[in-house]
């Protein structure tokens, strides 16, 4: 390279860096912090030594929209989230059952009387374990979580975990980090690309992403800690938070190595969380914290159980659905539905089809109730057809039609039977 | 090396000046003077394009652009002597109304994709580009007592200072970074039967709806082929 060009480039780099200085300064805090400290990791393993989460750390009248210190980016984030909320209110998969919604709101108010009227909880019919807190005070709970939760205390633990994210402004901080880290990795990438180190650039991007997610892990730990504080204050037995994680681990299929590595980046591992929660539950400040509320929870869930289970079957993860149904049977959870649905898994899931096992489950469901599960005799009829037993198939279809004469597929089944 | 720099500078100049604007879906006769038209709630969002390529929405810019665009639209409609109805605060949309607006946005996006993006045209819409969102729109007709509904979708991005500097630096090294764009579409729906009677879009790498002048320019370009 000619000396002239060298200086030309050097000058450019200086001009460029000084032009960016402002933006780098603005985000200097998170960028400095993206290098994870080893000591922090060790601290996490020793949570039982001192309890570092106190209810006094949480604001009692936090209202993001009236925050005079709100930054420009934060206002923009709310603009987006308000749109999401508007769309959520009219979403087709919103669970509108009044009693269930009232019940969940009641549990929330027990956990946090301060924010009883501020937080809006929406139940979304998606068959995966998830809940999400938005920075404007909107909370989503997916029905996959409701099907895995066993009692009111576990529901309270999920709600208080999400509320802790909100009160600690985690989603806004994650958003700021995403902006600054994506910027840092772009600048780094260009500089390295210029130096002919393009492949290293990819490694850096990966490193940046993993730093971003390591924050996610810390946020989760913090939310777990404050979550326990909130639920125990509300009178719920804090050990149930650990039991919820035990349940999630028991009803999840084993992840592939790749899935594990991606998931581990954003969340502490399930067993780690269960262990930490169990340890911390012993030392969290209690307030008569003994309530579990299994009966109350199951009663509130009852009206939507058929639709929850049907969605779980449709979801297509044979292994985890089977694990879940096995656990639900152990818990005596709405047995006619669960046995029927386990039969449906064996009847419909590719690579796992087993007519004998399906029939076995349908028959148990029938023993509990012949009318509770609407599609029971239809499914039994379909299995008989696959087995080549037309006589029994017709008999089952006739039972279905006589039990549900107004069903919208009776005419279809009648004409189908004529072809048998 | 010199040739490379010249090439880059040229391509930057060419790109920054480029804009694509094809008028579209000419449709039914639309007589604004005798019929009433309601200006529906627009979907407007302004954002900053950061160094890392993230789009950071800005609520203050958006508010400003909404005011500017609204003024520009009103002026345009007045100039063709259209009989305009405005949605007032106490006539805000209920759930059903919001759902209809969602459907309208879905239709707008679909038209945008299948009518304007090369190789994405639908076989059934090639010779007969008629789009409709169904008769449910009569609900809006009753609610606003209007014959037609006019809707807007506007996205206006601005390169942050840091990104601008990075872009120049990257361009000198032969790396091209995506430009901030301005994108908008507008459509008119016959509220009687849900049919889309007119639609247009624009995509540019220039313009600024934060100023009244920029908003006027956008609306002028977007609505110049509107039947009147």
- Mark yes or no for CB contact A87/B102 under 8 Å: yes
Asked if this assembly's ipTM is beyond 0.90, the reply is no
Encode pLDDT of A172-199 as tens digits.
Answer: 777 777 777 666 666 666 655 555 555 4
Tally Cβ neighbours within 10 Å of residue A415: 9
pLDDT tens readout for residues A300-318? 999 999 989 999 998 878 8
Q: What backbone phi and psi angles, to 5 degrees, belong to A371?
A: -115, -20
SS3 assignment for A335-367: HHHHHHHHHHHHHHCCCCCCHHHHHHHHHHHHH
How many Å apart are CA A124 and CA A85, to the nearest integer? 12
Quick check: B136 and B91 in contact, CB under 8 A? no
Q: Cβ A75–B52 below 8 Å, yes or no?
A: no
Residue of A13, A76, A96, A172 for testing the chain B interface, max B β-carbons within 10 Å? A76
pLDDT digits (tens, 9 = 90+) for A12-60: 444 443 333 333 333 333 333 333 333 444 444 444 445 778 888 888 7
Greater confidence (A380 vs A49) lies with A380
Higher pLDDT, A210 or A88: A88
CATH class for the region spanning B20-161+177-223 = alpha beta
pLDDT at A240 over 90: yes
Query: What distance in Å separates the CA atoms of residue A117 and residue B130, rounded to the nearest whole number?
Result: 47
Helix axes A376-387, A355-368, angle to 10 degrees: 150
CA nearest to A215, candidates A179, A170, A182: A170
User: Which chain B residues in 53-82 lie under 8 Å from chain A, judged by CB atoms?
Assistant: 53-54, 56-60, 62
Please check whether residue A178 touches B, CB under 8 A: yes
CA nearest neighbour of A330 among A150, A157, A156 = A150
Distances (CA, A) of B8 to A190, B14, B95, B176: 16, 10, 51, 9
Q: In whole angstroms, how large is the CA radius of gyration of chain B? A: 20
Fold designation for A299-418:
1.25.40
For residue A1, what pLDDT is reported? 44
pLDDT grade, residue B27 (50/70/90)?
low
**Domain limits, chain B:** 20-161+177-223
pTM: 0.75
CB-based contact A79 B62, cutoff 8 Å: yes
How many interface pairs between A and B have CB atoms less than 8 angstroms apart? 82
Interchain contact, A182 vs B162, CB within 8 Å: no
The phi, psi pair for A140, rounded to 5°, reads -110, 135
Please name the residue of chain A whose CA is at the shortest distance from the CA of residue B101.
A87
Using DSSP's 3-state secondary structure scheme, residue A82 falls into: helix
Q: Helix or strand or coil: residue B197?
A: strand
Q: Render pLDDT for B114-160 as a digit per residue (tens, 0 to 9).
A: 887 767 778 887 777 788 999 999 999 998 888 999 999 999 999 88
The partner residues of A94 in beta bridges, in order of sequence, read A124
Q: Does A94 touch chain B (CB under 8 A)?
A: no
Query: What is the reported pLDDT for A6?
Result: 53
Task: Compute how many other C-beta atoms are within 10 angstroms of the C-beta atom of residue B128.
Answer: 6
Q: In sequence order, what are the residues at sequence separation of 6 or more whose Cβ sits closer than 8 angstroms to the Cβ of residue A356?
A: none
Residue B161 touches chain A, beta carbons under 8 Å: yes
- For residue B37, give every residue at least 6 positions away whose Cβ sits within 8 Å of its Cβ, in sequence order, or none: B77, B82, B83, B84, B85, B146, B147, B148, B149, B150, B188
pLDDT of residue A207: 52
**Which chain B residue's Cα is nearest to A196?**
B173
Q: What is the pLDDT of residue A108?
A: 97
List the one residue out of A18, A329, A58 whose CA is nearest residue B166: A18
Q: Phi/psi of residue A141, each to 5°? A: -120, 125
State whether residue A91 sits within 8 Å of chain B by CB: no
Picking from B155, B142, B67, the residue whose alpha carbon sits closest to that of residue B108 is: B155
**Cα–Cα distance list, A53 to A38, A289, A361, A419, B17 (Å):** 21, 17, 47, 69, 56
Query: Can you tell me which residue has the tokens 């139940």?
Result: A123
CA separation for the pair B157, B58 (Å, rounded): 10
Per-residue pLDDT tens over the stretch A248-277 = 888 887 766 655 555 555 666 788 889 999
Question: Does B103 lie at the interface with A, CB-CB under 8 angstroms?
Answer: no
pLDDT at A188: 60
- The Cα of A200 is separated from the nearest Cα of chain B by a number of Å equal to 17
pLDDT at A300: 95
What does the alpha-carbon distance between residue A269 and residue A224 come to, in Å, rounded to a whole number?
13
Task: Point out the residue among A15, A179, A193 whose CB comes nearest to the CB of B54.
Answer: A179
d(CA B12, CA A71): 33
pLDDT at B220: 92
Is the CB of A1 inside 8 Å of chain B's CB atoms? no
Q: Which chain B residues are Cβ-neighbours of A22 within 8 angstroms?
A: 161-162
What mean pLDDT is predicted for residues A114-129? 91
Facing residue for B56 by CB, picked from A24, A179, A184: A179
Per CB-CB distance under 8 Å, the chain A contacts of B165 are 15-16, 19-20
- Over the stretch A319-346, which tens digit does the pLDDT of each residue have? 889 999 999 999 889 999 999 999 999 9
The answer to whether residue A76 neighbours chain B at the CB level (below 8 Å) is yes
Distance, in Å, from the CA atom of A213 to the CA atom of A177, rounded to the nearest integer, reads 10
Q: How far off is chain B from A9, nearest CA to CA, in Å?
A: 9
B2 touching A (Cβ < 8 Å) = no
């Amino acid at each position: 390279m000619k000396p002239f060009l060298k200086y030309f480039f050097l000058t450019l780099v200086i001009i460029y860096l000084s032009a960016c200085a402002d933006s780098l300064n603005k985000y200097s805090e998170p960028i400095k912090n993206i290098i994870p400290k080893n000591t922090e990791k060790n601290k996490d393993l020793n949570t039982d030594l001192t309890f570092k989460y106190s209810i006094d750390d949480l604001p009692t009248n936090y209202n993001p929209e009236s925050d005079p210190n709100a930054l420009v980016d934060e206002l923009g984030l709310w603009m987006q989230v308000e749109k999401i909320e508007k769309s959520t209110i009219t979403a087709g998969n919103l669970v509108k059952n009044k009693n269930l919604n009232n019940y969940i709101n009641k549990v929330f108010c027990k956990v946090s009387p301060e924010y009883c009227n501020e937080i809006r909880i929406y139940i979304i019919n998606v068959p995966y374990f998830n809940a999400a807190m938005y920075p404007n005070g909107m909370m989503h709970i997916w029905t996959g979580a409701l099907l895995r939760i066993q009692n009111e205390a576990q529901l309270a633990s999920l709600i208080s975990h999400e509320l802790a994210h909100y009160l600690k402004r985690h989603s806004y901080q994650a958003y700021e980090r995403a902006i600054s880290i994506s910027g840092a990795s772009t600048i780094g990438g260009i500089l390295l690309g210029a130096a002919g180190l393009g492949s290293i650039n990819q490694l850096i991007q990966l490193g940046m992403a993993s730093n971003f997610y390591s924050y996610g892990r810390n946020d989760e730990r913090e939310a777990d800690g404050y979550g326990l504080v909130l639920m125990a204050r509300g009178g719920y037995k804090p050990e149930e938070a650990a039991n919820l994680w035990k349940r999630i681990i028991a009803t999840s299929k084993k992840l592939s190595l790749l899935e594990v590595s991606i998931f581990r980046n954003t969340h502490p591992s399930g067993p780690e969380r269960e262990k930490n929660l169990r340890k911390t539950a012993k030392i969290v400040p209690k307030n008569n914290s003994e309530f579990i509320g299994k009966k109350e929870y199951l009663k509130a869930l009852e009206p939507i159980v058929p639709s929850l289970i049907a969605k779980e079957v449709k979801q297509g993860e044979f292994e985890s659905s089977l694990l879940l149904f096995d656990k639900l049977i152990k818990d005596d959870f709405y047995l006619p539905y669960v046995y029927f649905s386990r039969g449906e898994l064996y009847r419909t899931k590719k690579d796992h089809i087993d007519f004998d096992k399906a029939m076995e489950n349908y028959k148990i469901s029938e023993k509990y109730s012949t009318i509770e599960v609407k599609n029971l005799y239809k499914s039994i009829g379909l299995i008989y057809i696959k087995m080549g037993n037309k006589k029994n198939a017709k008999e089952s279809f006739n039972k279905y039609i006589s039990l549900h004469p107004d069903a919208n597929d009776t005419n279809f089944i009648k004409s189908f039977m004529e072809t048998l | 090396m010199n040739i490379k720099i010249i090439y880059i500078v040229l391509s930057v100049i060419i790109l920054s000046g480029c804009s694509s604007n094809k008028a579209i879906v000419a449709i039914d006769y639309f007589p604004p003077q005798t019929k009433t038209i309601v200006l529906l709630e627009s979907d407007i969002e302004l954002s900053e394009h950061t160094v890392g390529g993230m789009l950071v929405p800005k609520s203050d810019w958006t508010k400003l652009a909404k005011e500017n665009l609204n003024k520009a639209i009103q002026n345009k409609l007045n100039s063709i002597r259209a009989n305009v109805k405005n949605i007032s605060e106490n006539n805000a949309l209920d759930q059903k109304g919001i759902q209809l607006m969602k459907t309208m946005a879905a239709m707008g996006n679909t038209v945008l994709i299948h009518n304007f993006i090369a190789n994405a045209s639908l076989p059934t819409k090639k010779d007969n580009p008629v789009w409709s969102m169904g008769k449910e729109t009569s609900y809006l007709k009753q609610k606003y007592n209007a014959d037609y509904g006019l809707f807007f979708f506007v996205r206006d991005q601005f390169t942050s200072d840091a990104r601008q500097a990075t872009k120049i630096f990257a361009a000198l090294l032969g790396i091209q970074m995506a430009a901030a764009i301005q994108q908008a579409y507008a459509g008119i729906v016959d509220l009687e039967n849900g049919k889309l009677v007119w639609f247009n879009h624009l995509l540019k790498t220039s313009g600024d709806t934060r100023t009244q002048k920029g908003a006027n320019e956008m609306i002028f370009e977007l609505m110049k082929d509107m039947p009147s």
